[in-house]
Each structure stands twice: as structure tokens, then as C-alpha cells.
Amino acid sequence: MLSIILPTYNESENITKYIPILHSLFSKVNLKFEILIVDDNSPDKTWKIAEDLSKQYNSVRSFNRIGDKGLSSAVLFGIHQAKYETICVLDADMQHDESIVPKMLEEMKNHDLVIGSRKVVGGEYGEMPFYRQVMSKVADRIANLIIPIPAKDSMSGFFMIRKKLILDNLEKLNPKGFKILLEILCRIPNLKIKEIGYSFRQRVHGKTKLSSMVIIEYFTSLLEIRFNISITATFIKYSFVGIMGVFVNLLFQFLSSMILEDNAIVNYENQFFKPSLAVIVGFEVSLLSNFFLNHFWTFNKTLNSLVPSLLKFHLISILGFLIQISVWAFLFSAWLHYLDSYNGLATYVSNFIGIITAFVSNFYLNKNVTWK
């Protein structure tokens, strides 16, 4: 007995072709099964086609979630709805090889989790470009340094598991994003796991929903699991803007120091530090570019609240600047202890550490004051 979950988003063409294939395959192997199509109100009306298919095939049940979105939560929703204890999650786009399902089912007798895998004997990525294969291998290495992952193909969307295991561990799993298998692998301890190779097929109809954000999301999840924290999309965007801001800051500091012939970043007089003009220029230019990016992109605000937010952002940034130069002055004087003459590197490194410290404190203030 098997409940097969097909999460769908804009897969109308694919499910029209795939459901008859799945239905006849599983009917032939003499298996009691059901197919649950979980759609998230796809604009191409996949849910409507799913509904028609459910009338045509008694093995098919269709669900349209309105308001909710996301692959992981669609899978968990399907598991909740499943009639049978054994669950198989399968992409609706025909990229997975459904013919290994009976073999996977057989392995479920002795395992908690069986993964359709592209990374074990018999598995392959098909026509994946060489650079993507290299990237995937590098990503695997780095991922395993962050946290040991007890399976090779942790990005797979093709796996079998028991309903009870998921329900028992529901509060541990983060339903955000697409990487539900990674969550299961890393957050449920002592799983007996089997991977079965299959050849990943090319997508023929429709488009992939996974963008370049996937790799960022994957590593964010690993860090969240490793350090038991929650990293929001807002923080990632803010960090991205912040990192760009560091370069804008340093670049404009450098350019203005050339123009102003003001090559010392700091004027050192009587044990007292005063930022040079070049530093102030770098600071203000990066402040403005950070503000506009964060306002419209990170925090998704409109023109309405632009002026009050800009004022608050300035005040917080000045506070951050005080933090930045305090850290910097402290570190630079520590460096001076060991150096007998002026050293450019020392000022840049001290400045960099100052910027990072101010960045973290500013995030909390901006999130709670500027863009509350």
C-alpha cells in the first residue's frame, strides 16, 4: 500500500501525460496505491486538470492549496492527507524514474528512508552540464564540513518514508523552502537509510521553479540546522546589501582619497582619532546606496515612508559609525603598539572589522526601528 505525493506548480502539461503512465505502472505491479496531486493554485490551472484527472482515475486525489505556497509545505500537506502508511514523494515533471518505485518499496521493509539517488551506483544526472556537476561536488564537500549529511543525494525530491515517522517529528522539521529531504536527513536522528540509483531525466514540458537562490537556501538551511538558529530571507538580503555596501564604502573612500590627496584614513593627533574626509565620503555614499536597496528590495517598502525611514536610517548609521570608529580606533591603537611607523594595512583591516561590528548592531536596530 503506497501513497504517492506529486507536488505541482505549473505542471499542467506534465501531469496530463504522467498520471496515465503512473496509473498503469502501479496497477500492473498489483499494488494498492493512491496518487495525491498537491497544487498551490498554479496560474496555469494545474489544479483544474488535477481535479479532472481525479474524476477519471479513482487512484487520484487532488488538492489545491490557496494562500499556502512552497514545495516542502506541499509535501508535508500531502503526507497529512495520505491514506496509507508508506509515502513516496515524486516530482510531477517526469524527471524522476518511477520504475524504481517497486525496488524502493521492497527496501522500505528494512529501512526508514529510501532515496531515489543520482549519486550512487546506477544513478546519474543525465545530461547535466560539466560545470554544474563540478559545482554540485564542491557544494557537497562544503555542506559536509558544516554538518555531516547521512546520504549522498540530499537534494533529491524523490524518496520514500513512513507517515508516522514524519508526524512524530513534525515539530523538528522546518517547512520553509524546497529542501524537505535535507531537513529529514539532518533533523531526525538514527535513520536507517538506503539510496537507490536512477538516471535523472531532462525536463520536457514546463520550467524549473528552482532558481540560483537554491544554493543560497541550501547553505542557509545547513547553517540553521548546524547552529540551531533561524536565518530569515530578510537577513540574507540585508547581508547581501551590506556586503555590497562594504565595497562601495571602501571604493569611494579610496577614490576620494585620491582626489583629495588624503591618503591617511585617519588623522592621528595627540592620542585622538578623527576620521579623514575620505572616510566620511565612503561612509555617506554607501549609506545612501544601502538605504535605497534595503528600502525597496530587502524590506519591500514604498515611496510613502521614504523620508522618515531615511532619517532613522541616518541616525542608526551614525550610531553604527561611532561603533565602527570605536572598534577601529581600539584595534588600530593595538596594532600601533606593535608597529613603529604608519601602516596602511593596519588601518584597512581595523576599518573592516569595525564595519562588520557596526553592521550586526545596525541590522537589529534597522529591522526594529527603521523598517518596523
Ligand X SMILES: Nc1nc2c(ncn2[C@@H]2O[C@H](COP(=O)(O)OP(=O)(O)O)[C@@H](O)[C@H]2O)c(=O)[nH]1
Q: What one-character-per-residue DSSP string does 52-83 give?
A: HHHHH-TTEEEEE-SS---HHHHHHHHHHH-S
Interacting residues of 253 by C-beta distance below 8 A, sequence separation 6+: 265, 278, 279, 281, 282, 283
The reply to whether 69 sits near ligand X by the rule CB under 6 A is yes
Subset of 144-183 contacting ligand X (CB under 6 A): 157
The reply to whether 137 sits near ligand X by the rule CB under 6 A is no
Give the range of 29-37, 93-101, 183-191, 239-247 binding Mg ion by CB under 5 A: 93-101
Give the range of 61-69, 78-86, 92-100, 261-269 binding Mg ion by CB under 5 A: 92-100
Subset of 15-34 contacting ligand X (CB under 6 A): none
Whole-angstrom Cα distance, residue 126 to residue 138? 19
Give the range of 70-78, 163-171, 237-245, 276-284 binding ligand X by CB under 6 A: 70-78
The arrangement of strands across the sheet holding 60-64 comes to 60-64, 33-39, 2-8, 86-89, 159-162, 113-117, 193-197
Residue 67, all three cell numbers? 494562500
The reply to whether 51 sits near ligand X by the rule CB under 6 A is no
CB of 186 to Mg ion, least distance (A): 22
- Contacted entry of Mg ion, ligand X, none for residue 316, CB cut-off 5 to 8 Å set by kind: none
Give the range of 24-32, 135-143, 181-189, 206-214 binding ligand X by CB under 6 A: 206-214
Q: Which of 2, 5, 11, 12 binds ligand X (CB under 6 A)?
A: 11
Interacting residues of 281 by C-beta distance below 8 A, sequence separation 6+: 252, 253, 256
The reply to whether 88 sits near ligand X by the rule CB under 6 A is no
- Contacted entry of ligand X, Mg ion, none for residue 304, CB cut-off 5 to 8 Å set by kind: none
The reply to whether 93 sits near Mg ion by the rule CB under 5 A is yes
- Contacted entry of Mg ion, ligand X, none for residue 282, CB cut-off 5 to 8 Å set by kind: none
Whole-angstrom Cα distance, residue 127 to residue 202? 7
Q: Which of 83, 192, 209, 226 binds ligand X (CB under 6 A)?
A: 209
Question: Does residue 87 contact residue 160 with C-beta atoms inside 8 Å?
Answer: yes
Q: Which residues in 258-274 are b (16+ Cβ under 10 Å) and which e?
A: eeeebeebbeeeeeeee
Question: Does residue 103 contact residue 183 with C-beta atoms inside 8 Å?
Answer: no
Give the footprint of ligand X on this chain (CB under 6 A): 7-9, 11, 38-40, 69-71, 74, 91-93, 95, 157, 208-210
